[in-house]
Structure 1
């Protein structure tokens, strides 16, 4: 049975229900709580979410789980180069066609969905994307003279990468929230394996769905949040980002106020404050610029806090300096825990961890942005991997060795 709607006493019970659902969902998705939180934020704001990341990172499963946790009609489709519009929007009604009317059969299709998930979104044809634009922007589906209002709450789209085509980039701008999804980190791998194995036989404890009216009531409450106190600060942040070359459309910065208002509501407040400005980071649709934004806005976002959206707050305010410090700590510890003998079985495992750390550093920084301390540690990692191994005691690498710089 779906959980009941918000009682007249206020939104606190609904927020507690939502938080409990995110907690339970995050137990099934290792290191993916921020992803779950942002999808939920998109639902409350009635805005769309774009997930960018390689295949196999749990994007589809996370969206399915969030959609399944709400008593709502869902639609899911993997787009390809040859996907026909009828596969998403419905084939023509032959009976209506005999009567001279052009009407699609939309039952069970995207125009009838409350929540939609479209994988490989940028592979859609021009005809598909044009129809989607109308649905995303106006919640209306049109085909010729036929027109209908859609019940869509939020569309979550996924892709391996952002498109280079300017026309597709303009389409991507319709997604207010953008999250870059990376594979689970090395430290979370044991938990990922345990959780995956535990759930491989099925979910022994299914989550009862929340009635979609709870989401609707939270959305209406968010629209009543007082945004006055943060207006000037928000405008200052937008100016600051634009000055360093971050592209932000007027449409996006206006709509982003809904995210800030929803964050304030989930914090239990009816007035937005500096604690609620962190969603601005997710407006940026470039991975490097998004990381730079969290660093650039350190002073403005230092008070960020949300008891429900904990991980998405942390990710939004976790800039390159913090990431470099974390990688430095991890790399230093890895070098210090080198097995004494190259013949030790653990030595081979240690070398694999070294390679993984090198990949993580190169994924986070290029040769121009790599901090000096991390550059030295990276050189030490590479020196070990390039040195022929011998059956004897292993000398610890000396940070500062003269070896090749990162590519």
Structure 2
């Protein structure tokens, strides 16, 4: 029997966790409304699990994955699969010299079998031969062709498609991807920021982000394996039972592997043991958009405590719980305050005020005066103060922080 992994304090990995958070901050600054996607890919890397992204063309799936793969100290492989893609385009052509000697040995240099991170676009267009070979790599990290067999260093495979497949055989293949995120176009309230960011990157290509060291991801993966999951086993089983009651199928494999995500979430929260705050990844185990929405509602009580200081947006997307939703709104409102034009005479000031009004509407739709958390209450007061100052013709001063006393007096 193998010896148990040593339990280390969360402080032992604080530097690595901070590096991951800073990396996500730098990457998300380049994309509008894609922080949750970046977080989920990062969670997959730390848990050494695979991620499936479903969404219409033009929603930035490829760009985001390309950015995060390029900002890692890792060998990456990317390919857009078509109906006529040959297996050799992914796994390497046969070595002709070896073939002359009667041996079947592919040349895998620079191909998927030697990649640490893989991104496969339009994954479900792959032939049976491609998908069968991928299954071996995804499940066992082994590439086999004939008598040739080699272990692959794959950390995580991120795949993308415009829609989930209807073919039962392809659906069974999709189940090998532990997490599924449905990617939507940027919302109306962020269109201006999308245009501004996109144009800025067209005119001035962004500076390269220093790569996140391979050792950082490896360290956090090992640390996640040492997380104590005992406190949440019964709670996790209860969550799975509730999910099954609404007709959502989670395979035994997914239920077991889902624990790796819970452990990684607990680690990034700075804990040494998992708690109810870390059960939120269960939402991403579901591979139907409608059923993900249903799971959020059914598990509203069980997931209401969900939180994570590093994976804020993916938690909010997974739960719609008050705590996560408030944190997400606070972050968006704070960014909105920071983007305020310097002068009220600026041509963009009026459109910025419209965004402020929209944000206030979103906050008020989610919380009333009795339920709004204090941190969101403070940032809401700043937004409301700006609108009142504008309507009265006064120039607002955002250099002074919002006071709790004023908010509570209301």
Q: Scaled by the length of structure 1, what TM-score is found?
A: 0.76
* 8 Å Cα contact 1:179-1:282 kept in structure 2: yes
Residue 26 of structure 2 corresponds to which residue in structure 1?
24
1:4-403 counterparts in 2 under 5 A? 10-318=12-320
For residues 9 and 100 of structure 1, the distance between their equivalents in structure 2, rounded to whole angstroms, comes to 56
Deviation at 1:202, TM superposition (A): 4.4
For residues 134 and 189 of structure 2, the distance between their equivalents in structure 1, rounded to whole angstroms, comes to 39
For residues 75 and 229 of structure 2, the distance between their equivalents in structure 1, rounded to whole angstroms, comes to 32
Provide, for residues 210-229 of structure 1, a one-character-per-residue CA deviation record: whole Å limited to 9, x for no partner. Answer: 11121011000000000000
* 8 Å Cα contact 2:105-2:145 kept in structure 1: yes
For residues 204 and 216 of structure 2, the distance between their equivalents in structure 1, rounded to whole angstroms, comes to 28
Helix, strand or coil: the match of 2:52? strand
Helix, strand or coil: the match of 2:108? coil
For residues 45 and 214 of structure 2, the distance between their equivalents in structure 1, rounded to whole angstroms, comes to 10
* 8 Å Cα contact 2:11-2:270 kept in structure 1: no
Helix, strand or coil: the match of 1:219? helix
For residues 96 and 200 of structure 1, the distance between their equivalents in structure 2, rounded to whole angstroms, comes to 47
Provide, for residues 37-92 of structure 1, a one-character-per-residue CA deviation record: whole Å limited to 9, x for no partner. Answer: 00000000000000000000000010011111111000000001100000000000
* 8 Å Cα contact 1:291-1:318 kept in structure 2: no
For residues 304 and 204 of structure 1, the distance between their equivalents in structure 2, rounded to whole angstroms, comes to 34
* 8 Å Cα contact 1:70-1:210 kept in structure 2: yes
For residues 61 and 289 of structure 1, the distance between their equivalents in structure 2, rounded to whole angstroms, comes to 27
Over the residues paired in the alignment, what is the CA RMSD in angstroms?
1.6
For residues 202 and 115 of structure 1, the distance between their equivalents in structure 2, rounded to whole angstroms, comes to 28
Pair 1:9–1:238, CA change in 2 (3 A)? closer
Helix, strand or coil: the match of 1:158? strand
For residues 111 and 184 of structure 1, the distance between their equivalents in structure 2, rounded to whole angstroms, comes to 35
For residues 82 and 212 of structure 1, the distance between their equivalents in structure 2, rounded to whole angstroms, comes to 34
For residues 121 and 9 of structure 1, the distance between their equivalents in structure 2, rounded to whole angstroms, comes to 39
* 8 Å Cα contact 1:72-1:115 kept in structure 2: yes
5+ residue gaps, structure 1: 1-7, 324-407
Q: Scaled by the length of structure 2, what TM-score is found?
A: 0.75
Residue 348 of structure 1 corresponds to which residue in structure 2?
none
For residues 157 and 41 of structure 2, the distance between their equivalents in structure 1, rounded to whole angstroms, comes to 9
Deviation at 1:204, TM superposition (A): 3.8
Q: How many residues get paired?
A: 315
Residue 405 of structure 2 corresponds to which residue in structure 1?
none
For residues 317 and 56 of structure 1, the distance between their equivalents in structure 2, rounded to whole angstroms, comes to 26
For residues 138 and 297 of structure 2, the distance between their equivalents in structure 1, rounded to whole angstroms, comes to 31
Pair 1:245–1:204, CA change in 2 (3 A)? closer
